[in-house]
Amino acid sequence: MTTEPLTRPIITIAQHIAETQRKFPQATGDLTWILSGITLATRIIESYVRRAGIVNVLGEYGTENVHGEIVQKLDLVANETILRVLGYREIVGIMVSEEDDDPTIVKSPGAGGKYIILFDPLDGSSNIDVNVTIGTIFSVLRCREDIDESEGALPHILQRGSYQVAAGYVVYGSSTVMAYTTGDGVHLFTLDPSIGAFTLHTENVRMPAQGKTYSVNEAYYDSFPAPVQNYLSWTKQNGYGQRYIGSLVADFHRTLLKGGVFLYPATDKNPSGKLRLLYEANPLAMIAEQAGGAAWDFNERILDKRADALHERTPLVIGSREEVDRVLSFHK
Ligand code: P6P
């Protein structure tokens, strides 16, 4: 009888963050506590995603969210789960969800609420009923110390993406994988159903510098800006392949691992782009850059953008550095 050699240690996210945080003397373990909350919440969400159809979470809930999109039952389950799990972590001050019009003020900065958690609880939810990969995206900011409580929550929230202290996503696909960064590389964990824990899969992921795959919904071609149309024509004369799942997290995760470029430009239907800056573009841009890639809104680096509104949308081109640079070269 052969037994698999114990070559791969079993490292959980909490252990990994704790070890990573030890490199930073000023680290207080706060991020470990927040990210362990996120892993707990996403394990609960995953249990519903895997049973959709058996438990009553398929289909529409019957309301619309702040963006006028039909809310799916599983959207609400995911949203409530994150709010309930993270809302009781004493260092969390403010929570911002794609599903909620306004921020949830858990604890004022003065009362110990040090962090802001921004999230899309279930991205790609229109794909739930047809069993296509979906995901949860999260971003962590530190509450600012230079503003008065009387100014309310928005000045804390509307910080540039470059101020994120952590970011990541969970992709509920053929396996459930979490990618996270605290600014010290991107690390991948796979949920092991036999023990119910995310265990380390790959450290310091590097996005390939190039990749002949572009990911865009070409149904909107006619309303794309001319430079994007010109780029797409160029790809067809240069042997590129096209992949588009229609779930941002799934399209991004493939790009992170295989290289290539994902584009969601401005369209007639969404003149500012469809994807949200604070809890979709910013966290994925931090992951992309930490893995050696790039993320722009076709004119400006995503992490340099300052949001003016909670649910602000942005055009997005994200992926391999050389591929993003090529898209941008059509805009010059
Ligand atoms: P379209 C899902 O609804 C989503 O927000 C992202 O996950 C995805 O990238 C995008 O919208 C797909 O949009 O217009 O191509 O259906």
- Enumerate the CATH 3.30.540.10 domain ranges in the chain, comma separated: 13-202
What number of CA atoms fall less than 13 Å from residue 48's CA on the CB side? 24
Per-residue pLDDT at 25 = 65
Task: Work out which ligand 1 atom sits closest to the CA atom of 249.
Answer: 7
Task: Work out which ligand 1 atom sits closest to the CA atom of 262.
Answer: 9
Provide the CATH number for the domain formed by 213-329 in this structure: 3.40.190.80
- Say how many Å lie between the CA of residue 263 and the centre of ligand 1: 11
- Say how many Å lie between the CA of residue 130 and the centre of ligand 1: 15
| Type of residue found at 235 | T
Per-residue pLDDT at 78 = 95
- Say how many Å lie between the CA of residue 89 and the centre of ligand 1: 31
Task: Work out which ligand 1 atom sits closest to the CA atom of 134.
Answer: 7
- Say how many Å lie between the CA of residue 264 and the centre of ligand 1: 9
Per DSSP, helices labelled H in the chain are 13-21, 30-49, 73-86, 154-157, 226-236, 248-258, 282-290, 321-329
Nearest Cα residue to atom 14 of ligand 1? 217
* Residue 14 vs residues 9, 42, 135, 212, 288: alpha-carbon distances, Å: 14, 14, 21, 36, 22
Task: Work out which ligand 1 atom sits closest to the CA atom of 269.
Answer: 14
Task: Work out which ligand 1 atom sits closest to the CA atom of 135.
Answer: 7
Give bridge partners of residue 116 from the DSSP assignment.
Answer: 94, 141
Task: Work out which ligand 1 atom sits closest to the CA atom of 270.
Answer: 14
Nearest Cα residue to atom 13 of ligand 1? 246
Per DSSP, the residues of 152-207 read -SHHHHS--GGG-SEEEEEEESSSEEEEEESSS--EEEEEETTTTEEEEEESS---
- Say how many Å lie between the CA of residue 62 and the centre of ligand 1: 20
Nearest Cα residue to atom 9 of ligand 1? 248
- Fold exhibited by the domain 13-202: Fructose-1,6-Bisphosphatase; Chain A, domain 1 (3.30.540)
Q: Are 97 and 136 in contact (CB under 8 A)?
A: no
Q: Which residues line ligand 1 (CB under 6 A)?
A: 123-124, 126, 217, 246-248, 274
What lies within 8 Å, CB to CB, of 15 at 6+ separation is none
- Say how many Å lie between the CA of residue 125 and the centre of ligand 1: 9
Q: What's the sign of the alpha-carbon dihedral 202, 208, 213, 217?
A: positive
Three-class secondary structure of residue 277 per DSSP: helix
From 60, 70, 75, 123, give the residue whose CB has the most ligand 1 atoms within 8 Å, as the site to mutate. Answer: 123
What number of CA atoms fall less than 13 Å from residue 90's CA on the CB side? 3
Largest CA distance in the chain: 69
Per-residue pLDDT at 7 = 67
Nearest Cα residue to atom 5 of ligand 1? 124
- Enumerate the CATH 3.40.190.80 domain ranges in the chain, comma separated: 213-329
Per-residue pLDDT at 6 = 59
Task: Work out which ligand 1 atom sits closest to the CA atom of 251.
Answer: 9
Nearest Cα residue to atom 16 of ligand 1? 246
Q: Exposed e or buried b for every residue in 194-210, given b needs 16+ CB within 10 A?
A: eeebbbbbeeebebbeb
What lies within 8 Å, CB to CB, of 203 at 6+ separation is 185, 187
Per-residue pLDDT tens listing for the chain (332 residues): 656 555 667 888 888 888 877 776 666 778 888 998 999 999 999 999 988 877 766 667 777 777 777 777 888 899 999 999 998 888 999 999 999 999 999 988 878 899 999 999 999 877 888 889 999 999 999 999 888 888 889 999 999 999 999 999 999 999 999 999 999 999 999 999 888 899 999 999 999 999 999 999 999 999 999 999 999 999 999 999 999 999 999 999 999 999 999 999 999 999 999 999 999 999 999 999 999 999 999 999 999 999 999 999 999 999 999 999 999 999 98
Nearest Cα residue to atom 1 of ligand 1? 246
Per-residue pLDDT at 2 = 57
From 274, 279, 316, give the residue whose CB has the most ligand 1 atoms within 8 Å, as the site to mutate. Answer: 274
Q: What is the pTM of this model?
A: 0.94
